[in-house]
């Protein structure tokens, strides 16, 4: 809320709910995925609003229409409270059109932007959250003269433009850092970090190609039936699913299963330092590699690579190889909507293997350089967070009269 003491005396202050005209969108009775003579009005759903991608059309009958000059707020969903400029078309049911009579549209737009974080974090509802009207409509809206509104908007846009340029530079550095990481790992497994004269596509003379199954044991796990409570109740055996592999190390269990589940299913307890590879999963999970710091069983979506009957000195080098090969392994996978790896692919994956002495040199070099990368990444991430904080500070100051 805005404290009246913080704003100029000649500014008017009203409640948003007493000043705004709001119209919630409606879902059309008929929608077409292609534009036709009958269905020619773009349906402004969340995708159209946020990404300017129109992929549905309606006849416009009974719809709430919006124009390019309007602005909208997401009313329902994880982005509730987010405001943006409208796309011309029929307004979707999760969106609200807002108008502020006799107020510069951009002034109103930036005012609501300044409230987004609070509105979003205080959204109401079980399941799908929605904007809390009691919060939104009771905000105090400061109204200066129209020339002051325009001056404030101009100053906001100037400051936010500078801020956005800084963010873009940080994001560019972030992308370049990612490319450099990948390049380091690529050079490491081509032998270029420790050999000066290595031809592209040719391993150093003392390196050899081996399959993962030749240097380690590869297994998997299972998911005990959830309907059998005796498989989970009072379980003492750590059990890990692929979602835990987004971190470099697995330090705790996803769940716990019982000895009965271990005996009656295909579960195997894997030792500490086992490498875990996600064979399938949504988003970025598939192909992720992590390392167990606890003894644990896994589900069937994970390939467990351990060295119980093999030379464990290979583990650090293989782990770096799997991290490097993340995108390559994903491309090797097969399937439809959610393509998967399988144990056969993992076992047959070829792995370039130098001597243990050279492996250690490469690992030391990677540890050193990637640690620096991690620190730079941390600094960039922190700076991006600070940029968002600064944006909110700029907007807050704007509506306290501090920019004019």
Strands (E), 172-260: 208-211, 217-219, 237-240, 249-250, 255-257
- Rounded to 5 degrees, φ, ψ at 46 are -60, -40
Q: Are 12 and 45 in contact (CB under 8 A)?
A: no
**Partner residues linked to 43 by β-bridges:** 90
Helix (H, G, I), strand (E, B) or coil at 124: strand
Range(s) of the chain covered by CATH 3.90.220.20: 4-143, 208-353
Of the ranges 1-10, 60-69, 240-249, the best mean pLDDT one: 240-249
Assigned architecture for domain 4-143 = Alpha-Beta Complex (3.90)
Contact between 58 and 28 (Cβ < 8 Å):
yes
The pLDDT value given to residue 331: 60
Is 216 within 8 Å of 271 (Cβ atoms)? no
Q: What is the 3-state secondary structure (H, E, C) of 64-91?
A: CEECCCCEEEECECCCCCCEEECCCEEE
pLDDT tens-digit series, residues 276-326: 999 886 667 888 999 999 999 999 999 999 998 899 999 999 999 999 888
Region 92-97 average pLDDT: 92
95 in helix, strand or coil? strand
Residue 337 has pLDDT above 70, yes or no: no
Task: Return all residues near 388 (Cβ < 8 A) that are at least 6 apart.
Answer: none
pLDDT over threshold 80, residue 4: no
393-400: average pLDDT = 92
Give the Cα separation of 267 and 360 in Å (integer). Answer: 34
Q: Model confidence over 196-251: pLDDT tens digits?
A: 888 888 899 899 999 999 999 999 999 999 999 999 999 999 999 988 998 899 99
The domain over range 208-353 is classified in CATH as 3.40.1550.20: no
């Amino acid at each position: 809320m805005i404290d009246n003491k913080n704003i100029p005396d000649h500014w008017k202050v009203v409640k948003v709910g007493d000043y705004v005209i709001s119209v919630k969108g409606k879902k059309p009775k008929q929608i077409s995925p292609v534009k036709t003579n009958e269905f020619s009005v773009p349906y402004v759903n969340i995708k159209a609003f946020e990404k300017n991608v129109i992929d549905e059309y309606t006849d416009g009958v009974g719809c709430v229409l919006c124009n390019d000059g309007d602005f909208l707020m997401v009313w329902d969903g994880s982005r509730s409270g987010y405001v943006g400029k409208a796309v011309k078309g029929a307004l979707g049911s999760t969106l609200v059109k807002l108008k502020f009579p006799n107020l510069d549209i951009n002034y109103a737009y930036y005012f609501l932007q300044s409230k987004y974080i609070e509105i979003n974090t205080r959204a109401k509802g079980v399941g799908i959250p929605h904007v809390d009207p009691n919060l939104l409509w009771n905000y105090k809206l400061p109204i200066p003269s129209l020339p002051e509104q325009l001056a404030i908007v101009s100053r906001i846009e100037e400051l936010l433009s500078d801020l956005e340029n800084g963010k873009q530079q940080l994001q560019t550095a972030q992308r370049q850092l990612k490319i450099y990481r990948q390049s380091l790992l690529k050079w490491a497994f081509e032998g270029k970090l420790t050999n000066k004269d290595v031809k592209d596509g040719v391993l150093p003379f003392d390196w050899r190609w081996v399959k993962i199954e030749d240097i380690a044991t590869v297994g998997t796990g299972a998911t005990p039936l959830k309907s059998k409570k005796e498989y989970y109740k009072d379980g003492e055996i750590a059990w890990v699913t692929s979602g835990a592999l987004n971190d470099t190390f697995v330090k705790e269990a996803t769940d716990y299963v019982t000895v009965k589940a271990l005996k009656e299913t295909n579960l195997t307890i894997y030792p500490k330092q086992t490498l875990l590879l996600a064979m399938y999963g949504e988003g970025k999970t598939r192909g992720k590699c992590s390392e167990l710091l606890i003894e644990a069983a896994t589900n069937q979506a994970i390939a467990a690579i351990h060295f119980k009957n093999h030379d464990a000195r290979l583990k650090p080098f293989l782990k770096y190889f799997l991290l490097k090969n993340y995108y390559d392994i994903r491309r090797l996978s097969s399937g439809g909507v959610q393509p998967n790896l399988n144990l056969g692919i993992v076992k047959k994956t070829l792995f370039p293997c130098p001597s243990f002495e050279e492996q250690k040199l490469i690992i030391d070099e990677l540890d050193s350089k990637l640690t620096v990368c991690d620190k730079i990444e941390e600094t960039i991430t922190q700076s991006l967070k600070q940029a968002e904080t600064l944006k909110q500070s700029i907007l807050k100051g704007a509506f306290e009269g501090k920019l004019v």
